[in-house]
Structure 1
């Protein structure tokens, strides 16, 4: 019996079969609703990153001080003498906003830095210069830089003269994104 070299398949059918084999087969890994949900999650994640890029948190220095009355040329005004460590002197500048909390109450006073002294003072020097006695002695425990704050006047401000206050001086702000590990280096460089 003689075998013929003719194929039982048509030439066009073979070509069509070979072309189909060359085409990539796309697998359907996830269903369309899951794919849509995945895109929604990605958009939400990118929106959250964008929001953390835009939102800024204030950076502040904290210090303690006393509220006192300052007499200048027959005019008296209420100021706060705040004590900061000497290494914070470069961050304190005239005009920076200050929030003051007097004693253990939530009474808040506001003002701005009027001046920052350049010379360090010792605790003993601070006690003599500002007449610190009793509980006020504990305000200054080491060498300090003094910053004077003009307190925005209110009718009840005079009752706080001689009181200890805690201060927060706003020195700047930082993006929320910089608080996440690794992003701080990305934002600086």
Structure 2
């Protein structure tokens, strides 16, 4: 007697179908070339994060600078110097031998000198006017109590005498520390300060 339940499909086709169902086939969402590029981008992100973590950039305090005639309280320095006035929060960061970057002209030429003295306390604008014999117009540019750093003026780039600069007002910047680059990134940086 013949098999009454004979399939309309060939046995070979049914076998291949069943074998195909047993294999797990993953869909090709990403081509191999794109997959390599994504790993490369991930590697670049990790490397740049490591560099941003270990690299530090300087932090500067900004203030005003005035060329004055000055004599130190100990009598070790006397002459024409630059008195730089910084906000009080930078008082603890100012040290002798730090670089002071000065700009006295509109061209933006900067020159740097080492700090030779830092006043031992924060000084009021009235005390600054008396100590450095400044006129009231210059003192008005000093907003409030200030930390004072003194730097040697010479050598001067334009080969002028130091007395030619006496009374000049300019901008001063002093390096007061450093911070990691990663702390400068928006959103992420707040967690690394």
Would you say same fold, with TM above 0.5?
A: yes
Instruction: Tell me the equivalent position of 2:6.
Output: none
Q: CA RMSD in A?
A: 3.4
Aligned partner of 1:107 among 109, 119, 133:
109
Residue 176 of structure 1 is matched in structure 2 by 181
Q: Residue 58 of structure 1 corresponds to which residue in structure 2?
A: 58
Deviation of residue 152 (structure 1)? Answer: 4.8
Aligned-residue offset at 1:101: 0.7
Alignment match of 1:161 (pick from 152, 157, 166): 166
Give the distance between the partners of 2:18 and 2:34, measured in 1 at CA: 34
| Higher deviation after alignment, 19-28 or 113-122 | 19-28
Instruction: Kindly indicate whether the alpha-carbon contact (under 8 Å) linking 1:103 and 1:164 is maintained by their aligned counterparts in 2.
Output: no
Q: TM-score, structure 2 length as denominator?
A: 0.73
Structure 2: which 5+ runs fail to align? 4-10
Q: Indicate how the Cα distance of structure 1 residues 77 and 153 shifts in structure 2: closer, same or farther if over 3 A, else same.
A: farther
Task: Tell whether the 8 Å contact from 1:84 to 1:146 is kept in structure 2 after alignment.
Answer: yes
SS of 1:28's equivalent?
coil
Instruction: Please list every run of 5 or more consecutive structure 1 residues that lacks an aligned counterpart in the other structure.
Output: 4-8
Number of equivalent positions: 184
**CA contact 1:110–1:152 (8 Å) conserved in 2:** no
Q: Is the 8 A contact 2:49 2:182 kept in 1?
A: yes
Does 152-161 or 67-76 show the bigger shift?
A: 67-76
**CA distance in 2: counterparts of 1:92 and 1:75, whole angstroms:** 19
Contact 2:100/2:112, CA 8 A, preserved across alignment: yes
